[in-house]
């Protein structure tokens, strides 16, 4: 069956929230009966003649398979050939993709992080917008994007009940511009470490500091029994920060003076995240309904043009 949805994504990286979201979306679409496929984010829209002939000579069936494109272990969602990007395809770009390189007639833009905050953006005139959370939206451009999120708890994270905790750890990610706290001068940096190692660090440290205000590692630290602190900067108060990050309202402190709240609500984190997993699947159901209504099969070409 020709895929209706084409998810433009990087290879799967268990340490990248954007990668996880895009791969989980493709899987959820399949689960709900909506045919989906990937287009690797770094693949050129049209292969040159030399590349096509070389691929055909080596093995025709590999022409549209990319061994470098990593998927979630155990999954094999198809990678779409260019010929299957048809007039009825709905192409889903994350906000970091500039324009519409596939020249798709029907474009969905999934905002996983606020456009322009770290990376430039360029959207077309007739795109449909969804957001991973309120913080990712740009209402003056989108008119108010609909929610689309897919939280999934990584089983590596749990509280081992250790009583010998000491020291601190921290994450930088998107918080590169923030001044460093003295508390993290001798702390362990977890950026880029595998989940199993991070979980072990969370279980042996007393406090976790996140310079990234939107990282899911803040919740993972709380699950592991760590004092989890987000270093403030983007919002003037905890109230405003939580309004943009509702999944962090329990177990996470917005600044050191908020630690009492984080400790008192830490036990609520895991149940809240389980509820968010179920809610996320419902946002995918709504996504299918909304996109099918906006882009019914066989509708005339919209104003979105290649490269816009």
Higher-scoring residue by pLDDT: 14, 105: 105
Based on the fold, state whether residues 118 and 175 are members of the same structural domain.
Answer: no
Q: Which of 213-227, 254-268, 287-301 has the lowest mean pLDDT?
A: 287-301
Domain count, the chain: 2
CB 149 within 8 A of CB 133: yes
Identify whether 301 is part of a domain.
no
108, 246: one domain: no
Which residue would you say has higher pLDDT here, 50 or 149?
149
Average pLDDT over residues 189-201: 96
Same domain flag for 44 and 118 = yes
Asked whether residue 122 falls in the same domain as residue 178, the answer is no
State pLDDT tens for residues 56-71. 333 333 334 455 799 9
Helix (H, G, I), strand (E, B) or coil at 200: helix
Give the model's pLDDT for residue 102.
93
Report the alpha-carbon distance of residue 26 to residue 37 in Å, rounded.
Answer: 7
19 and 107 in a common domain:
yes
Is residue 95 domain-shared with residue 136, that is, in the same domain?
Answer: yes
Which residue range forms the structural domain that includes residue 124? 5-148+277-294
Residues 172 and 231 in one domain: yes
Contact criterion met (CB below 8 Å) for 13 and 19 = yes
Residue 235 lies inside a defined structural domain of this protein: yes
Q: What is the mean pLDDT of residues 154-179?
A: 94
Assess whether 240 and 288 both reside in one domain.
Answer: no
Confidence of residue 299 (pLDDT cuts 50, 70, 90): low
In this predicted structure, the answer to whether residue 290 has a pLDDT above a threshold of 80 is yes
- The answer as to whether 271 is a domain residue is no
In 141-299, the DSSP E strands lie at 146-147, 168-171, 188-189, 207-210, 227-230, 252-254
In a domain, 157, yes or no: no
- 224 and 79 part of one domain: no
Q: Which residues contact 83 (CB under 8 A, 6 or more apart)?
A: none
- 143 and 191 fall within a common domain: no
* Domain identity same for 115 and 187: no
- Is residue 272 one of the residues assigned to a domain? no
214 in any annotated domain: yes
pLDDT, average across residues 196-214: 97
In the structure encoding, which two tokens stand for residue 92, read together?
Answer: 């889903």
User: Average pLDDT in the 64-86 region?
Assistant: 82
Rounded Cα distance, 24 and 18, in Å: 10
Average pLDDT, the chain: 88
Shared domain check, 200 and 88: no
Distance CA 241, CA 249 (A): 9
Share of the chain above pLDDT 90, in %: 70
pLDDT (mean) for 180-205:
96
At residue 48, the pLDDT reads: 44
Would you say residue 81 has pLDDT above 80? yes
Q: What is the mean pLDDT of residues 76-80?
A: 91
Q: Which residue has the higher pLDDT, 107 or 234?
A: 107
Q: Picking from 41-50, 57-66, 117-126, 184-193, which range would have the lowest pLDDT averaged per residue?
A: 57-66
> Which element (helix H / strand E) includes 259?
helix 259-264
* pLDDT tens readout for residues 110-136: 999 999 988 899 999 999 999 998 889
pLDDT value at position 43? 85
Contact 109, 127 (CB under 8 A): yes
């Amino acid at each position: 069956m020709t895929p209706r949805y084409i998810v433009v994504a990087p290879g799967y990286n268990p340490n990248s929230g954007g990668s996880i979201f895009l791969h989980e979306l493709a899987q959820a679409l399949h689960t709900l009966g909506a045919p989906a496929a990937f287009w690797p984010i770094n693949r050129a829209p049209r292969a040159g003649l030399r590349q096509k002939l070389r691929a055909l000579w080596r093995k025709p069936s590999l022409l549209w398979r990319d061994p470098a494109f990593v998927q979630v272990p155990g999954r094999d969602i198809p990678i779409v050939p260019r010929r299957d990007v048809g007039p009825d395809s709905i192409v889903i770009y994350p906000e970091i993709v500039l324009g519409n390189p596939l020249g798709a007639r029907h474009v969905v833009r999934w905002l996983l992080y606020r456009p322009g905050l770290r990376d430039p953006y360029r959207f077309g005139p007739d795109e449909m917008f969804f957001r991973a959370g309120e913080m990712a939206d740009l209402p003056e451009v989108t008119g108010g994007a609909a929610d689309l999120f897919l939280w999934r708890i990584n089983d590596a994270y749990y509280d081992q009940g250790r009583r010998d905790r000491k020291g601190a750890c921290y994450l930088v990610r998107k918080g590169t511009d923030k001044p460093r706290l003295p508390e993290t001068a001798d702390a362990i940096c977890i950026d880029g470490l595998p989940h199993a190692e991070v979980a072990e660090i969370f279980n042996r440290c007393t406090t976790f500091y996140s310079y990234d205000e939107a990282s899911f590692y803040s919740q993972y630290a709380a699950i592991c029994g760590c004092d989890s602190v987000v270093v403030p900067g983007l919002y003037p108060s905890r109230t405003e920060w939580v309004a943009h990050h509702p999944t962090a309202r329990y177990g996470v402190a917005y600044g050191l003076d908020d630690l009492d709240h984080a400790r008192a609500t830490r036990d609520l984190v895991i149940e809240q995240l389980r509820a968010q997993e179920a809610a996320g699947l419902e946002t995918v159901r709504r996504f299918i309904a909304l996109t099918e209504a906006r882009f019914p099969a066989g509708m005339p070409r919209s104003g979105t043009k290649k490269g816009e």
